[in-house]
Amino acid sequence: MSALASVLRYEIWIFLTVLAAVIVYQLLTRRIITRGLMRDKMNGRAFSPGRLQMLIATAGAAFYYVLLIFANDKPGQFPEVPSALLLIVGGSQAVYLGGKAFALLRQLFGVSPPPKK
Amino acid sequence: MPLLGLVIGWILTIFLGLLGLVVLWKIIDGTIDLRYLICDELGWASLSRFQFLVFTFVIAMSLFFVIANQTPPSYPKIPAELLALLGISSGSFVLSKGIQSSRDVSLTEAGNPPAEAPEPAPKPPNP
């Protein structure tokens, strides 16, 4: 039974690790399309500061959580997620979505013209 | 009966291993095309989908890491904050999609449909 558990453990580890590596590789070599990731689609601009702050917050929060996992004294338990992390992630999402919603309302009420193609 | 359980366990383990291998191979050789993995319907990369992808991977791998480090392996208690993190990520994705769809519908009804992303240039053949 322990051999079965070990084999299954390695299988899942290898699968998740290789899948993550393949996706990261394809993102870096642009086989996965990343065009327009920073584009302000609501206003037609090439760059959106709201998206940049959300990207930074997402990357930072993910990296910090991975560090918490590896630095945890009890590896068999999840580490405590700080409330500040939730606030940062939630706040950055709120700023991003708020900007999108505001731009949509402006376009719906005709305050700002739709973006040119 | 324990022997039956062991046999079924091995069959399932081998099946999952082969399935994983086939999926990974097909992704690597391009049969399963991930080109539009984080794209929206118009072909532009979506930041909401990207952050959903990142958090899903991070939480999935951390869940497996925690399970594998327990003796004996068992399903751990998942803290509410972690569920909240995943909820924020998925909720943001859904809301972003809703806002984008509302905007696309209103633009289309106004006779000014949203711009689609240009098709990526085909890769040149290997020399």
Instruction: Say yes or no for a CB contact (<8 Å) between A76 and B66.
Output: yes
- 3-state secondary structure labels for all residues of chain A: CHHHHHHHHHHHHHHHHHHHHHHHHHHHCCCCCCCCCCCECCCCECCCHHHHHHHHHHHHHHHHHHHHHHHCCCCCCCCCCCHHHHHHHHHHHHHHHHHHHHHHHHHHCCCCCCCCC
pTM, to two decimals: 0.81
Rounded to whole angstroms, the Cα distance separating B73 from A16 reads 18
Q: What is the mean pLDDT of chain A?
A: 85
Which amino acid is it at B126? N
Rounded to whole angstroms, the Cα distance separating B96 from A11 reads 35
The complex scores an ipTM of 0.82
Is B45 in a helix, a strand, or coil? strand
Rounded to whole angstroms, the Cα distance separating B16 from B119 reads 36
Of A7, A36, A101, the CB nearest to B99: A101
Evaluate if residue A56 carries a pLDDT over 60. Answer: yes
CA angle, A39 as apex, A50 and A89 as ends, to 5°? 30
| Nearest alpha-carbon partner for A66 in A76, A54, A53, A78 | A78
- Percent of the residues in chain A that have a pLDDT greater than 90, as a whole number: 29
Rounded to whole angstroms, the Cα distance separating A45 from A36 reads 10
Report B:3-22 residues touching A (Cβ under 8 A). 6, 9-10, 13, 16-17, 20
Q: How confident is the model at residue B12 (pLDDT cuts 50, 70, 90)?
A: very high
Which amino acid is it at A88? I
The whole-number pLDDT of residue A25 equals 93
**Which residues from chain B sit within 8 angstroms of residue A12, using beta carbons?**
64
Q: Which residue of B has its CA nearest to A64?
A: B58
The whole-number pLDDT of residue A105 equals 83
pLDDT digits (tens, 9 = 90+) for A2-14: 788 888 888 988 9
Rounded to whole angstroms, the Cα distance separating A111 from B115 reads 20
Integer angstrom CA distances of residue B112 from A108, B46, B84, B108, B119: 13, 21, 38, 5, 20
B44 touches chain A (CB under 8 A): yes
A vs B, Cβ pairs < 8 A, gives 165
pLDDT digits (tens, 9 = 90+) for B63-94: 888 888 877 777 888 888 888 888 988 898 89
Measured on CA atoms in the order B103, B104, B110, B114, is the torsion positive or negative? Answer: positive
